[in-house]
Amino acid sequence: MPDLAFAAREYLARNGIVAQQIADHMGRPIDYVLDQLTGEIPLGVDLVSTLAALTADSPARVSAELASIAGTLVDPPRFDGQTMARALAQEIGEQRAARNMTQQQLADLVGEPLDTIAKYESGNLSVSLATLRRIAAALDTYATQVMIAAERRARQS
């Protein structure tokens, strides 16, 4: 079965849309949107309608594009936990470094001990979705953007 959550995240990346825009447009909490974009709950009609509104397109066309993206996945991304954890760890570290931020500065912004941030970046500790949201906010980005970049990294490895 095609991974529609992945297709939705790819659609967002292609169209420069972030999850917060969707949540704001829908008047829903960001967690509701992120749950759909991570596959925790199925993609809703309201999300597709919001994407249509944000891209000035029809819901039918957005649905067709999501299906097309999902259909082009010969082998939908299925990563073992270690591969994705490594990719996510590398992505967090690279995004932090790109902002000339130390691990200590990130730890202070996120509210985690320095050794915990070091473990996240080394892949020795899994990052929960709630923590990823805090890390992304500290890096002035969105959790979905970090996840998309990590998924691309995992596919390349």
CATH of residue 112: 1.10.260.40
Work out the average pLDDT over 48-72: 86
What are the pLDDT digits (tens) for 93-112? 999 999 999 999 999 999 99
- What pLDDT is recorded for position 72? 65
Domain shared by 64 and 89, yes or no: no
Domain shared by 23 and 57, yes or no: yes
Work out the average pLDDT over 123-127: 87
CA 49 to chain centre: 20
Work out the average pLDDT over 132-157: 85
Report if residue 122 sits inside a domain.
Answer: yes
Tell me what the pLDDT averaged over the chain comes to. Answer: 86
Report if residue 136 sits inside a domain.
Answer: yes
How many CB atoms lie under 10 A from the CB of residue 9?
22
Q: Is the whole-model pTM more than 0.85?
A: no
Domain shared by 63 and 92, yes or no: no
Instruction: Show which of 71, 92, 107 is a domain's final residue.
Output: 71
Report if residue 76 sits inside a domain.
Answer: no
Instruction: Show which of 17, 40, 71 is a domain's final residue.
Output: 71
Determine which of 69-73, 140-144, 148-152, 153-157 has the lowest per-residue pLDDT on average: 69-73
Report if residue 40 sits inside a domain.
Answer: yes
Report if residue 124 sits inside a domain.
Answer: yes
For 153, the token pair is: 């990294």
Given a contact cutoff of 8 angstroms between Cβ atoms, the answer to whether 107 and 131 are in contact is no
Domain shared by 64 and 104, yes or no: no
Instruction: Show which of 53, 71, 89 is a domain's final residue.
Output: 71
Please state the domain count of the chain.
2
Given a contact cutoff of 8 angstroms between Cβ atoms, the answer to whether 41 and 29 are in contact is no
Report if residue 93 sits inside a domain.
Answer: yes
Domain that holds residue 59: 4-71
Long-range contacts of 110-115 (CB under 8 A, 24+ apart): 110/134, 110/135, 110/138
Taking alpha carbons only, the member of 81, 107, 82, 14 closest to residue 54 is 14
Residue 10 has pLDDT above 60, yes or no: yes
Domain shared by 64 and 88, yes or no: no
What are the pLDDT digits (tens) for 25-40? 999 998 888 888 888 8
Integer CA distances (angstroms), 128 to 17, 136, 143, in order? 23, 12, 11
Domain shared by 122 and 63, yes or no: no
DSSP 103-140: HHHHHHHHT--HHHHHHHHHTSSPPPHHHHHHHHHHTT
Residue 59 has pLDDT above 70, yes or no: yes
